[in-house]
């Protein structure tokens, strides 16, 4: 069986953490369009320049750019047996495009309330040098403001400021609804309660991924 998964959920639902755990367990790449964009921006590539403003303001990057980036990444050899997509697709058009290039086995929805999302995001910090992420409550660095791994400075991501968060949550709710219906109709959507510990969310996912 292939392991072609999508992990979805509002910002700070913990889907990134779960995606990494699943990627390790199934030995598949975790593909985050957000990470790809941030890398392009950091490397000041042509694509980076194109998408910089969208990420800064919390707006979605236009579908034609995002989907071509995703298609290119999915065509690599390491995706043959499976992958876990995080942050893509984000709306019905992207889901339809994805459907035209590859079948998907399961869509994992990790859900949390908006209130919980805002609380978690305001505690999030990222290392400006190596990109490692922390949470001041659930995963604090050993030394305040300093990355455990490389000693870099920890900052609030530019799209984690309150205005950008509110915009992203609103966009997420509006755009994900038709996409969730699309996957639900295909009978591949599994829903997970995200307001529990990392370990409990993970075991719920594994339990529900079992082929019935
Ligand atoms: P993320 O790390 O998934 O929260 O993504 C960060 C930002 O990258 C988003 O706020 C968007 O500006 C952009 N982005 C990432 N994935 C997509 C996507 N599938 N469609 C459009 N924009 C995206």
pLDDT, one tens digit per residue, over 39-72 is: 999 999 999 999 999 998 878 899 999 999 999 9
Q: Is residue 161 part of a domain?
A: no
Q: 126 in a domain, yes or no?
A: no
Q: Which residues are catalytic?
A: 15, 90, 124, 157, 168
Residue burial 51-76, b: 16+ Cβ < 10 Å; e: rest: bbebbeebeebeeeebbebbeebbee
Q: Is the pLDDT of residue 82 over 50?
A: yes
d(CA 163, CA 142): 29
* 59 CA distance to ligand 1 middle (Å): 8
Asked if residue 154 belongs to a domain, the reply is no
Domain assignment of residue 147, yes or no = no
Whether residue 135 has pLDDT greater than 60: yes
Mean pLDDT over residues 157-168, rounded?
81
Q: Which of 29-33, 80-84, 128-132 has the lowest mean pLDDT?
A: 128-132
pLDDT score for 149: 96
Residue 108, domain extent: 3-113+175-208
Task: Give the pocket of ligand 1 (CB within 6 Å).
Answer: 11, 32-34, 37, 54-55, 58-61, 66, 87-90, 94, 159, 168
DSSP-assigned letter for residue 61 = P
CA–centroid distance, 87 to ligand 1, in Å, is: 6
Using alpha carbons, select from 84, 86, 33, 38 the residue that is nearest to residue 63. Answer: 33
pLDDT at residue 16, as a whole number: 92
- The CATH number of whichever domain residue 7 belongs to comes to 3.40.50.300
CA 135 from centre of chain: 16
Beta bridge pairs of residue 204: none
Least confident interval from 38-42, 84-88, 115-119: 115-119
pLDDT above 50 (res 139): yes
Q: Rounded to the nearest whole angstrom, what is the distance from the C-alpha of residue 105 to the centroid of ligand 1?
A: 22
Tell me, yes or no, whether 63 lies in a domain: yes
The count of structural domains within the chain is 1
Q: Kindly state whether residue 74 falls inside one of the protein's structural domains.
A: yes
Whether residue 208 has pLDDT greater than 60: yes
pTM of the model: 0.84
| Chain centroid to CA 157 | 15
Torsion over CA: 185, 97, 209, 132 (sign): negative
Question: What pLDDT does 163 receive?
Answer: 78
- Does some domain include residue 16? yes
- pLDDT score, position 192: 97
Which bin fits 131, alpha (ψ -120 to 50), beta or left (φ > 0)?
Answer: left
Q: In a mutational test of the pocket of ligand 1, which residue from 37, 94, 169 has the highest number of ligand atoms less than 8 Å from its CB?
A: 37
Q: What is the mean pLDDT of the chain?
A: 93
> Could you give the CA distance from residue 76 to residue 94 in angstroms, rounded to a whole number?
19
Residue 29, domain member (yes or no) = yes
Per-residue pLDDT reduced to its tens digit, 11-23: 889 999 999 999 9
pLDDT at 46 (0 to 100): 95
Any residues with CB less than 8 A from the CB of 15 and at least 6 apart, and which?
7, 8, 9, 86, 108, 110, 194
212 pLDDT band, cuts 50/70/90, is very low
């Amino acid at each position: 069986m292939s392991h072609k998964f999508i992990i979805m959920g509002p910002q700070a639902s913990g889907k990134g953490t779960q995606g990494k755990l699943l990627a390790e367990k199934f030995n598949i790449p975790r593909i985050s369009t957000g990470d790809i964009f941030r890398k392009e921006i950091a490397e000041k590539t042509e694509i980076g320049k194109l998408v910089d403003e969208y990420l800064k303001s919390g707006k979605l990057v236009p579908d034609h750019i995002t989907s071509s980036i995703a298609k290119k990444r999915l065509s690599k050899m390491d995706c043959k047996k499976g992958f876990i997509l995080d942050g893509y697709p984000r709306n019905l058009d992207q889901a339809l495009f994805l459907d035209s290039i590859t079948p998907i086995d399961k869509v994992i929805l990790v859900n949390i309330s908006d209130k919980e999302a805002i609380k978690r995001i305001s505690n999030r910090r990222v290392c400006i040098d190596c990109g490692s992420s922390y949470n001041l409550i659930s995963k604090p660095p050993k030394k305040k403001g300093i990355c455990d791994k490389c000693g870099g400075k920890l900052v609030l991501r530019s799209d984690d400021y309150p205005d950008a968060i509110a915009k992203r949550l609103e966009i997420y709710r509006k755009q994900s609804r038709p996409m969730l219906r699309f996957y639900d109709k295909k009978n591949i959507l599994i829903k997970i309660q995200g307001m529990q510990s990392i370990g409990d969310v993970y075991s719920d996912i594994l339990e529900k991924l079992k082929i019935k």
